[in-house]
Structure 1
Amino acid sequence: MDFKRIEVIFLIVFFSLDIFLFLSFRNSQQLVSSTSTNTSTVAEMRKRNISFGSLDTKTGYAYYLGSRPDESLAQNVQKLRNQKAEYEDVNHSLTSTLSNPIAITSADKIKIMDKFIKKESNVLFGKEYKYSPQLSTKSQIIYVENKSHGQIYDKTAQLAFTVSDGEVVSYTQTYVKSMIILHERQTIKSEKDVITNLYANSEIPNNSKITYANLAYTKLLEAKDSTIYIPVWFVTIKNKDSKVVTTKKVNAFTGNIIKSSTNGDNNYSAQ
Structure 2
Amino acid sequence: MDWKKTEIIFIIAFLVLDIFLAFMFFNKQLTDDPDKLGTDTLQDHLKTDNISYPQSALSTKKSQGAIFTAEQTAFVPKDLPNDDNQSFLIEENGSAIYSTLKKPVKANKQGDSKEMMAFMKSNVYKGDSYKFWRYDKDSNQLIYNQIMKDEPVLMDQGGQITFQLNQQYEVVSYRQTILGKQDDLEDKAELISSMDALESVYQHGDLKTDSEIKKVDFGYYTTVQLSSGDVYFPVWCFEIEHKGETNYILVNAKDEQVINMNENRPTTVK
AA aligned opposite 2:245: V
2:238 is aligned, of 232, 235, 240, to 235
Match of 1:102 in 2: 105
AA aligned opposite 1:137: D
| Contact in 2 for aligned 1:214/1:233 (Cα 8 Å) | yes
| TM-superposed deviation, 1:78 | 6.0
Pair 1:158-2:160 in alignment: yes
C-alpha spacing 1:105/1:192, structure 2 compared with 1 (3 Å): closer
Match of 2:82 in 1: 79
C-alpha spacing 1:213/1:152, structure 2 compared with 1 (3 Å): same
Once residues 208 and 73 of structure 1 are traced to their aligned partners in structure 2, the CA distance between those partners, rounded to angstroms, is: 45
Gaps of 5+ in 1: 1-31
| TM-superposed deviation, 1:247 | 1.5
C-alpha spacing 1:93/1:231, structure 2 compared with 1 (3 Å): same
1:88 is aligned, of 87, 91, 95, to 91
AA aligned opposite 1:44: H
Match of 1:40 in 2: 41
Instruction: Please give the per-residue CA displacement for 1:179-214, whole angstroms capped at 9, x wherever unaligned.
Output: 332123444222111112212222111222211111
Pair 1:174-2:177 in alignment: yes
Q: How many residues align?
A: 230
C-alpha spacing 1:89/1:221, structure 2 compared with 1 (3 Å): farther
Q: Match of 1:170, SS? A: strand
C-alpha spacing 1:104/1:222, structure 2 compared with 1 (3 Å): closer
| Contact in 2 for aligned 1:73/1:175 (Cα 8 Å) | no
Q: Match of 2:59, SS? A: coil
Once residues 71 and 140 of structure 1 are traced to their aligned partners in structure 2, the CA distance between those partners, rounded to angstroms, is: 24
C-alpha spacing 1:107/1:232, structure 2 compared with 1 (3 Å): closer
1:221 is aligned, of 216, 220, 224, to 224
Pair 1:124-2:122 in alignment: no
C-alpha spacing 1:71/1:189, structure 2 compared with 1 (3 Å): same
C-alpha spacing 1:99/1:60, structure 2 compared with 1 (3 Å): same
AA aligned opposite 1:223: L
Match of 2:136 in 1: 137
| Contact in 1 for aligned 2:201/2:207 (Cα 8 Å) | yes
Once residues 213 and 228 of structure 2 are traced to their aligned partners in structure 1, the CA distance between those partners, rounded to angstroms, is: 36
| TM-superposed deviation, 1:48 | 2.0
Once residues 221 and 197 of structure 2 are traced to their aligned partners in structure 1, the CA distance between those partners, rounded to angstroms, is: 17
Match of 2:266 in 1: 266
| Contact in 2 for aligned 1:188/1:252 (Cα 8 Å) | yes
1:206 is aligned, of 206, 209, 212, to 209
Q: Match of 1:205, SS? A: coil
Larger mean Cα displacement after TM superposition, 198-207 or 52-61: 52-61
1:7-18 matched pairs, under 5 angstroms: none
AA aligned opposite 1:253: K
| TM-superposed deviation, 1:81 | 3.0
Q: Match of 1:64, SS? A: strand
CA RMSD of aligned residues (A): 2.8
Once residues 222 and 107 of structure 1 are traced to their aligned partners in structure 2, the CA distance between those partners, rounded to angstroms, is: 31
Instruction: Please give the per-residue CA displacement for 1:79-130, whole angstroms capped at 9, x wherever unaligned.
Output: 34322211124471111111222344558863321121111xx211112112
TM-score (norm 1): 0.74
Pair 1:64-2:67 in alignment: yes
| TM-superposed deviation, 1:215 | 0.8
Once residues 42 and 267 of structure 1 are traced to their aligned partners in structure 2, the CA distance between those partners, rounded to angstroms, is: 35
| Contact in 2 for aligned 1:163/1:169 (Cα 8 Å) | yes
AA aligned opposite 2:162: A
Once residues 258 and 88 of structure 1 are traced to their aligned partners in structure 2, the CA distance between those partners, rounded to angstroms, is: 31
| Contact in 2 for aligned 1:88/1:94 (Cα 8 Å) | yes
Match of 2:148 in 1: 147
Once residues 111 and 95 of structure 2 are traced to their aligned partners in structure 1, the CA distance between those partners, rounded to angstroms, is: 31
Q: Percent identity?
A: 23
Q: Match of 1:116, SS? A: helix
Once residues 110 and 184 of structure 2 are traced to their aligned partners in structure 1, the CA distance between those partners, rounded to angstroms, is: 39
| Contact in 2 for aligned 1:73/1:94 (Cα 8 Å) | no
| Contact in 2 for aligned 1:258/1:267 (Cα 8 Å) | no
